Structure 1
Protein backbone atom coordinates (compact mmCIF):
# COMPACT_ATOMS: atom_id res chain seq x y z
CA UNK A 1 0.00 0.00 0.00
CA UNK A 2 1.10 3.55 -0.62
CA UNK A 3 0.91 6.56 1.67
CA UNK A 4 -1.59 9.34 1.13
CA UNK A 5 1.12 11.61 -0.28
CA UNK A 6 -0.31 11.15 -3.79
CA UNK A 7 -3.18 13.43 -2.73
CA UNK A 8 -0.76 16.36 -2.79
CA UNK A 9 0.32 15.80 -6.37
CA UNK A 10 -0.77 18.36 -8.95
CA UNK A 11 -2.85 15.78 -10.80
CA UNK A 12 -4.90 14.77 -7.76
CA UNK A 13 -5.37 18.31 -6.52
CA UNK A 14 -6.79 19.34 -9.92
CA UNK A 15 -8.90 16.19 -9.95
CA UNK A 16 -10.33 17.00 -6.50
CA UNK A 17 -11.09 20.60 -7.45
CA UNK A 18 -12.88 19.43 -10.62
CA UNK A 19 -15.00 16.88 -8.71
CA UNK A 20 -15.94 19.43 -6.07
CA UNK A 21 -16.97 21.91 -8.77
CA UNK A 22 -19.06 19.25 -10.53
CA UNK A 23 -20.73 18.16 -7.28
CA UNK A 24 -21.49 21.75 -6.28
CA UNK A 25 -22.90 22.50 -9.73
CA UNK A 26 -25.11 19.41 -9.60
CA UNK A 27 -26.35 20.42 -6.13
CA UNK A 28 -27.14 23.95 -7.32
CA UNK A 29 -29.02 22.67 -10.38
CA UNK A 30 -31.01 20.29 -8.20
CA UNK A 31 -31.95 23.15 -5.86
CA UNK A 32 -32.95 25.23 -8.88
CA UNK A 33 -35.29 22.48 -10.08
CA UNK A 34 -36.91 22.19 -6.64
CA UNK A 35 -37.42 25.97 -6.55
CA UNK A 36 -39.08 25.70 -9.94
CA UNK A 37 -41.31 22.98 -8.51
CA UNK A 38 -42.37 25.32 -5.69
CA UNK A 39 -43.14 28.06 -8.23
CA UNK A 40 -45.14 25.59 -10.33
CA UNK A 41 -47.20 24.52 -7.31
CA UNK A 42 -47.90 28.15 -6.41
CA UNK A 43 -48.97 28.93 -9.98
CA UNK A 44 -51.23 25.86 -10.07
CA UNK A 45 -52.91 26.94 -6.84
CA UNK A 46 -53.57 30.40 -8.30
CA UNK A 47 -55.04 28.94 -11.50
CA UNK A 48 -57.30 26.56 -9.57
CA UNK A 49 -58.52 29.34 -7.30
CA UNK A 50 -59.15 31.80 -10.14
CA UNK A 51 -60.78 29.16 -12.33
CA UNK A 52 -63.38 28.53 -9.61
CA UNK A 53 -64.03 32.24 -8.91
CA UNK A 54 -66.93 34.11 -10.44
CA UNK A 55 -66.16 36.68 -13.17
CA UNK A 56 -65.67 40.28 -12.02
CA UNK A 57 -65.60 43.55 -13.98
CA UNK A 58 -62.29 44.02 -15.79
CA UNK A 59 -61.71 47.41 -14.12
CA UNK A 60 -61.52 45.66 -10.71
CA UNK A 61 -58.54 43.60 -11.83
CA UNK A 62 -56.84 45.59 -14.58
CA UNK A 63 -55.55 49.15 -14.74
CA UNK A 64 -54.03 51.43 -17.34
CA UNK A 65 -50.91 52.04 -15.21
CA UNK A 66 -49.86 48.75 -13.63
CA UNK A 67 -49.33 45.31 -15.12
CA UNK A 68 -51.21 42.19 -14.12
CA UNK A 69 -50.24 40.83 -10.70
CA UNK A 70 -49.30 37.18 -10.29
CA UNK A 71 -52.37 36.60 -8.14
CA UNK A 72 -54.75 37.88 -10.82
CA UNK A 73 -53.47 35.97 -13.84
CA UNK A 74 -56.10 33.53 -15.15
CA UNK A 75 -58.82 35.43 -13.29
CA UNK A 76 -62.08 35.63 -15.23
CA UNK A 77 -63.25 39.16 -15.98
CA UNK A 78 -66.11 40.65 -17.92
CA UNK A 79 -66.41 43.86 -19.95
CA UNK A 80 -68.93 45.50 -22.27
CA UNK A 81 -68.11 47.71 -25.24
CA UNK A 82 -67.66 47.76 -28.99
CA UNK A 83 -64.86 46.12 -30.94
CA UNK A 84 -62.35 48.47 -32.60
CA UNK A 85 -62.12 46.40 -35.76
CA UNK A 86 -59.88 48.93 -37.53
CA UNK A 87 -57.16 48.19 -34.96
CA UNK A 88 -57.30 44.40 -35.27
CA UNK A 89 -53.91 42.81 -34.60
CA UNK A 90 -52.67 39.59 -36.18
CA UNK A 91 -50.45 37.53 -33.85
CA UNK A 92 -48.21 35.47 -36.12
CA UNK A 93 -46.53 32.08 -35.71
CA UNK A 94 -49.11 30.44 -33.45
CA UNK A 95 -49.39 26.67 -33.86
CA UNK A 96 -51.87 24.12 -32.53
CA UNK A 97 -51.39 20.40 -32.90
CA UNK A 98 -48.65 21.08 -35.42
CA UNK A 99 -50.85 23.29 -37.62
CA UNK A 100 -49.77 26.83 -38.53
CA UNK A 101 -52.06 29.68 -37.63
CA UNK A 102 -52.57 33.11 -36.07
CA UNK A 103 -54.30 34.56 -33.05
CA UNK A 104 -56.87 37.28 -33.67
CA UNK A 105 -56.60 40.22 -31.26
CA UNK A 106 -59.12 43.07 -31.23
CA UNK A 107 -59.39 45.97 -28.75
CA UNK A 108 -62.77 46.24 -27.04
CA UNK A 109 -63.55 49.90 -26.33
CA UNK A 110 -65.52 50.11 -23.08
CA UNK A 111 -68.02 52.82 -22.10
CA UNK A 112 -65.40 55.11 -20.54
CA UNK A 113 -63.19 54.91 -23.64
CA UNK A 114 -60.60 52.51 -22.19
CA UNK A 115 -59.71 49.60 -24.47
CA UNK A 116 -59.49 46.01 -23.28
CA UNK A 117 -57.23 43.87 -25.49
CA UNK A 118 -59.10 40.66 -26.35
CA UNK A 119 -57.45 37.60 -27.88
CA UNK A 120 -60.53 36.26 -29.63
CA UNK A 121 -58.92 32.94 -30.53
CA UNK A 122 -56.87 31.01 -33.06
CA UNK A 123 -57.44 30.17 -36.70
CA UNK A 124 -55.46 28.01 -39.09
CA UNK A 125 -53.75 29.79 -41.96
CA UNK A 126 -51.50 28.93 -44.83
CA UNK A 127 -47.80 29.68 -44.59
CA UNK A 128 -48.13 33.28 -45.73
CA UNK A 129 -48.93 36.73 -44.39
CA UNK A 130 -52.46 37.16 -43.07
CA UNK A 131 -54.16 40.55 -43.17
CA UNK A 132 -56.80 41.75 -40.65
CA UNK A 133 -59.41 41.97 -43.40
CA UNK A 134 -59.00 38.23 -44.02
CA UNK A 135 -59.98 37.35 -40.43
CA UNK A 136 -63.47 36.47 -39.17
CA UNK A 137 -65.29 39.61 -38.03
CA UNK A 138 -66.24 40.00 -34.38
CA UNK A 139 -69.82 40.75 -33.35
CA UNK A 140 -70.86 44.30 -34.26
CA UNK A 141 -72.47 46.78 -31.89
CA UNK A 142 -72.34 46.42 -28.13
CA UNK A 143 -70.67 43.21 -27.02
CA UNK A 144 -70.17 41.66 -23.58
CA UNK A 145 -67.09 39.48 -23.25
CA UNK A 146 -65.78 37.13 -20.58
CA UNK A 147 -62.09 36.26 -20.65
CA UNK A 148 -59.09 34.92 -18.75
CA UNK A 149 -56.67 37.62 -17.59
CA UNK A 150 -53.15 37.27 -19.00
CA UNK A 151 -49.90 39.12 -18.45
CA UNK A 152 -48.34 41.18 -21.22
CA UNK A 153 -45.44 39.57 -23.04
CA UNK A 154 -42.10 41.37 -23.06
CA UNK A 155 -39.16 41.75 -25.42
CA UNK A 156 -38.70 42.52 -29.09
CA UNK A 157 -41.41 40.04 -30.13
CA UNK A 158 -44.10 42.45 -28.82
CA UNK A 159 -43.39 45.14 -31.43
CA UNK A 160 -46.48 46.02 -33.45
CA UNK A 161 -45.83 46.66 -37.14
CA UNK A 162 -48.58 47.07 -39.73
CA UNK A 163 -51.26 45.52 -37.48
CA UNK A 164 -49.07 42.50 -36.81
CA UNK A 165 -47.01 41.18 -33.90
CA UNK A 166 -45.49 37.96 -32.59
CA UNK A 167 -46.46 38.32 -28.91
CA UNK A 168 -49.28 40.20 -27.20
CA UNK A 169 -48.49 43.30 -25.17
CA UNK A 170 -51.33 45.70 -24.41
CA UNK A 171 -48.75 48.40 -23.74
CA UNK A 172 -47.28 48.08 -27.25
CA UNK A 173 -50.72 47.87 -28.85
CA UNK A 174 -51.75 51.04 -26.99
CA UNK A 175 -48.67 52.80 -28.38
CA UNK A 176 -49.66 51.71 -31.89
CA UNK A 177 -53.34 52.72 -31.58
CA UNK A 178 -52.93 55.80 -29.38
CA UNK A 179 -55.90 54.78 -27.21
CA UNK A 180 -55.98 54.45 -23.40
CA UNK A 181 -55.71 50.72 -22.74
CA UNK A 182 -55.78 48.34 -19.78
CA UNK A 183 -52.41 46.70 -19.13
CA UNK A 184 -52.59 42.96 -19.73
CA UNK A 185 -55.06 41.26 -22.02
CA UNK A 186 -57.72 38.54 -21.90
CA UNK A 187 -58.07 35.18 -23.63
CA UNK A 188 -61.68 35.06 -24.74
CA UNK A 189 -64.08 32.66 -23.01
CA UNK A 190 -67.38 33.90 -24.47
CA UNK A 191 -68.98 36.75 -26.42
CA UNK A 192 -72.56 38.01 -26.29
CA UNK A 193 -73.91 38.18 -28.95
CA UNK A 194 -72.23 35.19 -30.55
CA UNK A 195 -70.00 35.79 -33.59
CA UNK A 196 -70.92 34.52 -37.03
CA UNK A 197 -67.63 32.60 -37.32
CA UNK A 198 -66.07 30.90 -34.33
CA UNK A 199 -62.37 30.85 -33.59
CA UNK A 200 -60.63 28.23 -31.47
CA UNK A 201 -60.51 29.60 -27.94
CA UNK A 202 -57.48 29.44 -25.69
CA UNK A 203 -57.21 26.57 -23.23
CA UNK A 204 -56.22 26.70 -19.59
CA UNK A 205 -52.68 25.47 -18.92
CA UNK A 206 -52.26 21.94 -17.62
CA UNK A 207 -52.23 21.80 -13.83
CA UNK A 208 -49.45 19.40 -12.90
CA UNK A 209 -46.09 19.54 -11.17
CA UNK A 210 -44.08 18.81 -14.30
CA UNK A 211 -40.75 16.93 -14.27
CA UNK A 212 -38.95 19.27 -11.84
CA UNK A 213 -38.92 16.85 -8.86
CA UNK A 214 -37.28 14.04 -10.85
CA UNK A 215 -34.88 16.45 -12.58
CA UNK A 216 -33.80 17.70 -9.15
CA UNK A 217 -33.16 14.17 -7.93
CA UNK A 218 -31.21 13.37 -11.09
CA UNK A 219 -28.89 16.34 -10.62
CA UNK A 220 -28.24 15.40 -6.99
CA UNK A 221 -27.59 11.80 -8.05
CA UNK A 222 -25.04 12.99 -10.64
CA UNK A 223 -23.27 14.98 -7.93
CA UNK A 224 -23.23 11.95 -5.63
CA UNK A 225 -21.80 9.79 -8.43
CA UNK A 226 -18.99 12.33 -8.99
CA UNK A 227 -18.00 12.19 -5.31
CA UNK A 228 -18.36 8.43 -5.15
CA UNK A 229 -16.20 8.01 -8.25
CA UNK A 230 -13.49 10.20 -6.74
CA UNK A 231 -13.46 8.19 -3.50
CA UNK A 232 -13.32 4.89 -5.41
CA UNK A 233 -10.40 6.06 -7.55
CA UNK A 234 -8.57 7.46 -4.52
CA UNK A 235 -8.92 4.16 -2.64
CA UNK A 236 -7.73 2.27 -5.71
CA UNK A 237 -4.70 4.56 -5.97
CA UNK A 238 -3.95 4.14 -2.25
CA UNK A 239 -4.02 0.36 -2.63
CA UNK A 240 -1.46 0.56 -5.39
CA UNK A 241 -3.70 0.58 -8.44
CA UNK A 242 -4.25 -2.31 -10.80
CA UNK A 243 -1.29 -4.57 -11.34
CA UNK A 244 0.10 -4.53 -14.86
CA UNK A 245 -0.33 -7.83 -16.77
CA UNK A 246 2.85 -9.85 -17.15
CA UNK A 247 4.63 -9.62 -20.48
CA UNK A 248 6.66 -12.40 -22.11
CA UNK A 249 9.89 -10.68 -21.05
CA UNK A 250 8.89 -10.39 -17.41
CA UNK A 251 7.62 -14.00 -17.46
CA UNK A 252 11.09 -15.21 -18.63
CA UNK A 253 12.76 -13.25 -15.87
CA UNK A 254 10.44 -14.84 -13.30
CA UNK A 255 11.22 -18.34 -14.66
CA UNK A 256 14.96 -17.70 -14.49
CA UNK A 257 14.65 -16.45 -10.94
CA UNK A 258 12.75 -19.57 -9.93
CA UNK A 259 15.19 -21.97 -11.70
Structure 2
Protein backbone atom coordinates (compact mmCIF):
# COMPACT_ATOMS: atom_id res chain seq x y z
CA UNK A 1 0.00 0.00 0.00
CA UNK A 2 2.91 2.35 0.66
CA UNK A 3 5.13 1.36 -2.24
CA UNK A 4 4.35 4.67 -3.95
CA UNK A 5 6.55 6.53 -1.43
CA UNK A 6 9.60 5.20 -3.29
CA UNK A 7 8.60 6.84 -6.57
CA UNK A 8 10.72 9.74 -7.83
CA UNK A 9 8.00 12.31 -7.18
CA UNK A 10 7.70 11.26 -3.55
CA UNK A 11 11.47 10.98 -3.07
CA UNK A 12 11.69 14.69 -3.94
CA UNK A 13 9.17 15.43 -1.21
CA UNK A 14 11.21 13.41 1.30
CA UNK A 15 14.34 15.36 0.36
CA UNK A 16 12.53 18.70 0.76
CA UNK A 17 11.16 17.76 4.19
CA UNK A 18 14.10 15.87 5.73
CA UNK A 19 17.13 17.46 4.11
CA UNK A 20 15.97 21.07 3.69
CA UNK A 21 13.09 22.17 5.92
CA UNK A 22 13.75 20.17 9.07
CA UNK A 23 17.52 20.95 9.23
CA UNK A 24 16.73 24.63 8.56
CA UNK A 25 14.13 24.75 11.34
CA UNK A 26 16.46 22.99 13.77
CA UNK A 27 19.33 25.36 12.89
CA UNK A 28 17.18 28.47 13.31
CA UNK A 29 15.92 27.13 16.62
CA UNK A 30 19.48 26.55 17.81
CA UNK A 31 20.43 30.08 16.77
CA UNK A 32 17.53 31.55 18.75
CA UNK A 33 18.52 29.32 21.66
CA UNK A 34 22.03 30.78 21.55
CA UNK A 35 20.65 34.33 21.45
CA UNK A 36 18.43 33.54 24.44
CA UNK A 37 21.35 32.27 26.54
CA UNK A 38 23.46 35.27 25.49
CA UNK A 39 20.73 37.61 26.67
CA UNK A 40 20.39 35.74 29.97
CA UNK A 41 24.14 35.94 30.54
CA UNK A 42 24.16 39.65 29.68
CA UNK A 43 21.29 40.31 32.08
CA UNK A 44 23.14 38.43 34.82
CA UNK A 45 26.17 40.69 34.28
CA UNK A 46 23.96 43.79 34.40
CA UNK A 47 22.21 42.71 37.59
CA UNK A 48 25.49 41.94 39.31
CA UNK A 49 27.00 45.26 38.26
CA UNK A 50 24.00 47.35 39.22
CA UNK A 51 23.59 45.65 42.59
CA UNK A 52 27.22 46.37 43.52
CA UNK A 53 28.33 49.60 45.16
CA UNK A 54 29.99 52.20 42.88
CA UNK A 55 33.81 51.96 42.64
CA UNK A 56 36.39 54.57 41.55
CA UNK A 57 36.86 54.52 37.80
CA UNK A 58 40.64 54.30 38.14
CA UNK A 59 40.32 50.71 39.40
CA UNK A 60 38.31 49.37 36.43
CA UNK A 61 39.19 51.59 33.45
CA UNK A 62 42.81 52.05 32.47
CA UNK A 63 44.34 54.26 29.80
CA UNK A 64 44.64 52.50 26.43
CA UNK A 65 43.03 49.30 27.70
CA UNK A 66 39.60 48.12 26.61
CA UNK A 67 36.83 47.70 29.15
CA UNK A 68 36.38 43.97 29.71
CA UNK A 69 32.93 42.46 29.32
CA UNK A 70 32.53 41.70 33.02
CA UNK A 71 33.22 45.35 33.87
CA UNK A 72 30.53 46.68 31.56
CA UNK A 73 27.62 48.29 33.42
CA UNK A 74 29.67 48.64 36.60
CA UNK A 75 28.76 51.75 38.55
CA UNK A 76 31.77 54.00 38.89
CA UNK A 77 32.57 57.32 40.52
CA UNK A 78 34.77 60.00 38.95
CA UNK A 79 35.49 63.66 39.49
CA UNK A 80 37.05 66.27 37.22
CA UNK A 81 36.43 69.17 34.89
CA UNK A 82 34.47 68.98 31.65
CA UNK A 83 36.28 69.80 28.40
CA UNK A 84 33.56 71.31 26.14
CA UNK A 85 36.13 72.15 23.48
CA UNK A 86 36.34 68.49 22.54
CA UNK A 87 32.74 67.36 22.85
CA UNK A 88 30.78 65.49 20.16
CA UNK A 89 27.25 64.53 19.18
CA UNK A 90 26.70 60.81 18.64
CA UNK A 91 24.04 60.58 15.94
CA UNK A 92 21.06 58.29 15.30
CA UNK A 93 19.84 57.76 18.85
CA UNK A 94 16.14 57.81 19.68
CA UNK A 95 14.09 58.21 22.83
CA UNK A 96 10.44 57.10 22.63
CA UNK A 97 10.73 57.11 18.85
CA UNK A 98 12.01 60.69 18.69
CA UNK A 99 15.30 61.28 16.84
CA UNK A 100 18.20 62.93 18.62
CA UNK A 101 21.82 62.77 19.72
CA UNK A 102 23.97 61.71 22.66
CA UNK A 103 26.18 64.44 24.08
CA UNK A 104 29.71 63.05 24.54
CA UNK A 105 31.96 65.38 26.54
CA UNK A 106 35.42 64.43 27.94
CA UNK A 107 35.94 64.83 31.69
CA UNK A 108 39.55 65.55 32.67
CA UNK A 109 40.54 63.80 35.90
CA UNK A 110 43.06 65.03 38.47
CA UNK A 111 45.81 62.81 37.01
CA UNK A 112 45.48 64.47 33.60
CA UNK A 113 43.74 61.56 31.90
CA UNK A 114 40.26 61.99 30.44
CA UNK A 115 37.10 59.90 30.37
CA UNK A 116 34.44 60.18 27.67
CA UNK A 117 31.15 60.99 29.42
CA UNK A 118 27.72 60.43 27.89
CA UNK A 119 25.87 63.31 29.50
CA UNK A 120 22.51 62.25 28.03
CA UNK A 121 20.21 62.72 25.06
CA UNK A 122 18.89 65.85 23.33
CA UNK A 123 16.33 65.91 20.50
CA UNK A 124 16.80 67.38 17.05
CA UNK A 125 15.55 70.95 16.82
CA UNK A 126 14.87 71.19 13.07
CA UNK A 127 13.17 69.29 10.27
CA UNK A 128 16.59 68.06 9.18
CA UNK A 129 17.27 65.23 11.60
CA UNK A 130 20.96 65.22 10.73
CA UNK A 131 21.51 68.88 11.61
CA UNK A 132 23.35 69.46 14.87
CA UNK A 133 21.23 71.08 17.62
CA UNK A 134 22.62 73.60 20.09
CA UNK A 135 24.52 71.74 22.83
CA UNK A 136 23.79 72.83 26.42
CA UNK A 137 26.94 73.92 28.23
CA UNK A 138 28.21 71.43 30.85
CA UNK A 139 28.48 72.41 34.53
CA UNK A 140 31.51 74.63 35.10
CA UNK A 141 34.29 73.79 37.55
CA UNK A 142 34.83 70.51 39.31
CA UNK A 143 32.06 67.94 38.81
CA UNK A 144 31.48 64.70 40.73
CA UNK A 145 29.73 61.97 38.80
CA UNK A 146 28.31 58.51 39.29
CA UNK A 147 27.88 56.59 36.08
CA UNK A 148 27.68 53.26 34.30
CA UNK A 149 30.82 52.08 32.55
CA UNK A 150 30.44 51.04 28.91
CA UNK A 151 32.73 49.46 26.35
CA UNK A 152 34.12 51.48 23.47
CA UNK A 153 31.71 51.13 20.54
CA UNK A 154 32.88 49.24 17.46
CA UNK A 155 31.20 47.67 14.46
CA UNK A 156 31.74 44.31 16.12
CA UNK A 157 29.68 45.07 19.23
CA UNK A 158 27.11 47.41 17.68
CA UNK A 159 26.74 46.30 14.06
CA UNK A 160 27.18 49.94 12.98
CA UNK A 161 29.99 51.06 10.69
CA UNK A 162 32.21 53.75 12.17
CA UNK A 163 31.86 56.66 9.75
CA UNK A 164 34.80 59.02 10.18
CA UNK A 165 34.30 61.35 7.20
CA UNK A 166 31.45 63.14 5.48
CA UNK A 167 29.57 63.93 8.71
CA UNK A 168 28.60 67.42 9.89
CA UNK A 169 31.20 69.04 12.12
CA UNK A 170 31.19 67.67 15.67
CA UNK A 171 29.14 64.55 14.86
CA UNK A 172 30.25 60.94 15.27
CA UNK A 173 28.60 57.61 14.44
CA UNK A 174 30.17 55.57 17.26
CA UNK A 175 31.59 56.42 20.67
CA UNK A 176 34.93 54.84 19.84
CA UNK A 177 37.77 55.67 22.25
CA UNK A 178 40.64 55.08 19.84
CA UNK A 179 39.06 57.18 17.10
CA UNK A 180 38.26 60.10 19.41
CA UNK A 181 41.67 59.97 21.06
CA UNK A 182 43.21 60.42 17.62
CA UNK A 183 40.86 63.32 16.84
CA UNK A 184 41.30 65.19 20.12
CA UNK A 185 44.83 64.26 21.14
CA UNK A 186 43.57 63.52 24.66
CA UNK A 187 44.80 60.68 26.85
CA UNK A 188 41.56 58.77 27.09
CA UNK A 189 40.71 55.84 29.32
CA UNK A 190 39.04 52.90 27.60
CA UNK A 191 35.28 52.93 27.15
CA UNK A 192 32.95 55.69 28.26
CA UNK A 193 30.62 56.47 31.16
CA UNK A 194 26.85 57.09 31.15
CA UNK A 195 25.85 59.68 33.75
CA UNK A 196 23.53 58.49 36.53
CA UNK A 197 23.93 61.46 38.89
CA UNK A 198 25.90 64.68 38.65
CA UNK A 199 26.96 67.25 41.22
CA UNK A 200 26.28 69.97 40.21
CA UNK A 201 23.40 68.87 38.03
CA UNK A 202 23.56 69.13 34.26
CA UNK A 203 21.18 71.14 32.06
CA UNK A 204 17.48 70.28 32.40
CA UNK A 205 17.14 69.99 28.63
CA UNK A 206 19.29 66.86 28.64
CA UNK A 207 17.46 63.54 29.12
CA UNK A 208 19.49 61.02 31.20
CA UNK A 209 20.14 57.62 29.65
CA UNK A 210 17.64 55.04 30.90
CA UNK A 211 18.62 52.00 32.88
CA UNK A 212 19.25 48.94 30.74
CA UNK A 213 16.31 46.65 30.07
CA UNK A 214 16.50 43.23 31.70
CA UNK A 215 13.92 41.78 29.38
CA UNK A 216 14.97 38.43 27.94
CA UNK A 217 13.50 39.30 24.56
CA UNK A 218 11.52 37.06 22.18
CA UNK A 219 14.32 34.54 21.74
CA UNK A 220 12.84 31.83 23.97
CA UNK A 221 9.49 31.87 22.15
CA UNK A 222 11.23 31.97 18.75
CA UNK A 223 13.38 29.03 19.82
CA UNK A 224 10.33 26.86 20.53
CA UNK A 225 8.43 28.19 17.51
CA UNK A 226 11.12 27.00 15.09
CA UNK A 227 11.19 23.57 16.70
CA UNK A 228 7.38 23.49 16.61
CA UNK A 229 7.60 24.16 12.87
CA UNK A 230 9.89 21.13 12.69
CA UNK A 231 7.23 18.93 14.34
CA UNK A 232 4.55 20.40 12.08
CA UNK A 233 6.65 19.54 9.01
CA UNK A 234 7.03 15.94 10.19
CA UNK A 235 3.32 15.68 11.00
CA UNK A 236 2.41 17.13 7.61
CA UNK A 237 4.71 14.65 5.87
CA UNK A 238 3.05 11.70 7.65
CA UNK A 239 -0.45 13.08 6.96
CA UNK A 240 0.19 13.56 3.24
CA UNK A 241 1.50 10.01 2.88
CA UNK A 242 -1.43 8.50 4.81
CA UNK A 243 -4.01 10.44 2.81
CA UNK A 244 -2.39 9.39 -0.45
CA UNK A 245 -2.44 5.75 0.67
CA UNK A 246 -6.10 6.03 1.71
CA UNK A 247 -6.92 7.68 -1.61
CA UNK A 248 -5.26 4.86 -3.52
CA UNK A 249 -7.08 2.19 -1.47
CA UNK A 250 -10.39 3.96 -2.08
CA UNK A 251 -9.72 4.17 -5.83
CA UNK A 252 -8.83 0.45 -5.94
CA UNK A 253 -12.04 -0.45 -4.09
CA UNK A 254 -14.14 1.68 -6.44
CA UNK A 255 -12.47 0.12 -9.48
CA UNK A 256 -13.17 -3.40 -8.11
CA UNK A 257 -16.81 -2.46 -7.46
CA UNK A 258 -17.18 -1.13 -11.02
CA UNK A 259 -15.76 -4.38 -12.44
CA UNK A 260 -18.22 -6.42 -10.37
CA UNK A 261 -21.17 -4.33 -11.59
CA UNK A 262 -20.04 -4.78 -15.19
CA UNK A 263 -19.99 -8.56 -14.74
CA UNK A 264 -23.48 -8.53 -13.20
CA UNK A 265 -24.81 -6.44 -16.11
CA UNK A 266 -23.42 -8.93 -18.62
CA UNK A 267 -25.03 -11.92 -16.82
CA UNK A 268 -28.50 -10.27 -16.81
CA UNK A 269 -28.73 -9.95 -20.66
CA UNK A 270 -31.27 -12.48 -22.39
CA UNK A 271 -29.74 -15.50 -24.19
CA UNK A 272 -30.09 -15.88 -28.00
CA UNK A 273 -32.43 -18.76 -29.21
CA UNK A 274 -30.64 -21.99 -30.27
CA UNK A 275 -33.56 -23.81 -32.23
CA UNK A 276 -35.33 -22.84 -35.42
CA UNK A 277 -39.02 -21.94 -35.18
CA UNK A 278 -41.54 -24.66 -36.21
CA UNK A 279 -42.75 -24.64 -39.85
CA UNK A 280 -46.06 -22.93 -40.36
CA UNK A 281 -48.89 -25.03 -41.96
CA UNK A 282 -49.27 -24.34 -45.63
CA UNK A 283 -52.30 -22.48 -46.88
CA UNK A 284 -54.49 -24.83 -48.98
CA UNK A 285 -55.49 -22.05 -51.26
CA UNK A 286 -51.98 -20.83 -51.82
CA UNK A 287 -50.32 -21.89 -55.05
CA UNK A 288 -47.79 -24.66 -54.69
CA UNK A 289 -44.37 -23.31 -55.42
CA UNK A 290 -43.31 -26.69 -56.91
CA UNK A 291 -45.02 -27.03 -60.36
CA UNK A 292 -44.18 -30.73 -60.70
CA UNK A 293 -45.85 -31.53 -57.44
CA UNK A 294 -48.84 -29.50 -58.49
CA UNK A 295 -49.18 -31.41 -61.73
CA UNK A 296 -48.85 -34.73 -59.90
CA UNK A 297 -51.76 -33.93 -57.72
CA UNK A 298 -54.05 -32.78 -60.63
CA UNK A 299 -56.72 -35.31 -62.01
CA UNK A 300 -55.88 -37.08 -65.29
CA UNK A 301 -58.17 -35.84 -68.11
CA UNK A 302 -58.17 -39.24 -69.82
CA UNK A 303 -59.62 -41.01 -66.91
CA UNK A 304 -62.07 -38.37 -66.05
CA UNK A 305 -65.70 -39.47 -66.67
CA UNK A 306 -68.52 -37.36 -67.73
CA UNK A 307 -71.12 -36.71 -65.15
CA UNK A 308 -73.77 -39.46 -64.93
CA UNK A 309 -77.11 -38.88 -66.67
CA UNK A 310 -80.32 -39.60 -65.07
CA UNK A 311 -82.06 -42.98 -66.17
CA UNK A 312 -84.76 -42.69 -68.73
CA UNK A 313 -88.21 -43.02 -67.47
With over 3 angstroms needed to count, the CA separation of the structure-2 counterparts of 1:22 and 1:52, relative to structure 1, is same
Match of 2:274 in 1: none
- Write the deviation string for residues 113-138 of structure 1: whole angstroms up to 9, x where unpaired: 22101110011223334447x21000
Q: Distance in 1 between matches of 2:214 and 2:141?
A: 37
Q: Which runs of 5+ in 2 are unaligned?
A: 252-257, 266-313
Q: Is the 8 A contact 2:124 2:132 kept in 1?
A: no
With over 3 angstroms needed to count, the CA separation of the structure-2 counterparts of 1:253 and 1:8, relative to structure 1, is closer
Match of 1:12 in 2: 10
Match of 2:115 in 1: 116
Q: Given the alignment of the two structures, is residue 219 of structure 1 paired with residue 217 of structure 2, yes or no? A: no
With over 3 angstroms needed to count, the CA separation of the structure-2 counterparts of 1:258 and 1:153, relative to structure 1, is farther
TM-score, normalised to structure 1, is: 0.86
Q: Is the 8 A contact 2:64 2:188 kept in 1?
A: no
Q: Given the alignment of the two structures, is residue 180 of structure 1 paired with residue 178 of structure 2, yes or no? A: no
**Greater relative CO (CA pairs within 8 A, separation 6+):** 1
The Cα shift of 1:224 comes to 0.8
Q: Distance in 2 between matches of 1:77 and 1:104?
A: 19
Match of 1:136 in 2: 136
Match of 2:245 in 1: 238
Match of 1:191 in 2: 198
With over 3 angstroms needed to count, the CA separation of the structure-2 counterparts of 1:256 and 1:44, relative to structure 1, is same
- Write the deviation string for residues 35-82 of structure 1: whole angstroms up to 9, x where unpaired: 222111111111111111111111211123332222111111111111
Q: Describe how 1:1-259 pairs up with structure 2 within 5 A.
A: 2-4=1-3, 6-20=4-18, 21-126=20-125, 127-128=127-128, 129-131=130-132, 134-155=134-155, 157-160=161-164, 161=167, 162-241=169-248, 259=265
Q: Distance in 2 between matches of 1:168 and 1:255?
A: 87
TM-score, normalised to structure 2, is: 0.72
Q: Distance in 2 between matches of 1:109 and 1:233?
A: 72
SS at match of 1:137: coil
Q: Which runs of 5+ in 1 are unaligned?
A: 245-251
Number of matched residues? 250
Q: Is the 8 A contact 1:144 1:193 kept in 2?
A: yes
